[in-house]
Copies of this chain bind each other. A is one copy, B any other.
Amino acid sequence: MPVRDLQYPTEPFSTVKRHKEQGSYSLETIHQIVNSCPMLHVSFQPPDSPFPAVLPMIGQMGSFARPSADLGEVLDLYLHGYVSSRIINLTRDDPSSPGLPMTIAASHLDGLVLALTPNSHTYNYRSAVLFGHAAVVTDAAERLYAMELITDGVVPRRWAGSRVPPNAAELGSTSVLRVTIATGSAKIRTGGPHDERADMADDALRGRVWTGVVPVYSVLGAPVAAGYNRVAPVPGYLEEWRNETNKDTEEYAREKAVDKS
């Protein structure tokens, strides 16, 4: 039986300091936030730029050595990119070991929390950040593993539902990065607004200002066929996933709009 509830180490740069009670270092919690986030924000410091780079990218966590590993186990983050893009070139050319330092953020907005006064306004959200070192994957089998992982991370079962494997030109134009994770943390806020005592005691204010949460959730809309599409109807794997995801996402935002009793 695997060790349960693994935690990332708390480094000075990764520790949640404000609202510590919202912080988490659980691998399962952090990996779940990352793998359900359709767009990650990847940051690194190019040697010739006065500013850090931040790129929106698609990525997924997995284990090539043990593909059946679950979300609570030690995993790598896989990203892919055009073979001659700056992030790939910098990673390939980076002389340092264990690789180019990267920070990856995954954030979900779940609700706008409206209190009596702007200073008590906040969001309901789930955010994770991972710190690691990137290397370009050269092993052919690991590259294919990562490409399938990333594709199915966007739409489950899409890899098998499309033309695979990639041909030589496709393999030549796409690079895969493996980010070995050093540590990470998450911060999660749920529930209704909380106000200061003085505002709560102000009856005129309480009678004037609406307080509560506007749940926010992402919707996967009705598919729009390409002009050259010849397949009808929309495949079952796509519709099942879409309906299930939409239901779960909306339910989460609504449930988390109120304080747990």
Contact = CB atoms under 8 A, between A and B. Distances in A.
Nearest to A58: B123
Contacts of A39: 107, 109, 123, 125
B199 A212 contact: no
A128 to B, nearest CB: 10
A69 interface: no
A213 to B, nearest CB: 5
A209 B116 contact: no
Copies in the complex: 2
A221 to B, nearest CB: 4
Given A161-B210, A210-B234, 9 more contacts: A18-B82, A38-B123, A39-B107, A43-B52, A54-B129, A118-B159, A121-B154, A207-B230, A218-B218
A255 to B, nearest CB: 10
A222 B230 contact: no
A238 interface: yes
A6 interface: no
A225 B250 contact: no
Nearest to A235: B210
Interface residues of A, number: 105
A228 B211 contact: yes
A36 interface: no
Contact of A206 (B127, B148, B230, B238): B230
Contacts of A206: 228, 230
- Shortest 7 CB-CB distances between A and B: which pairs? A215-B221, A13-B49, A224-B257, A211-B226, A119-B170, A41-B41, A54-B105
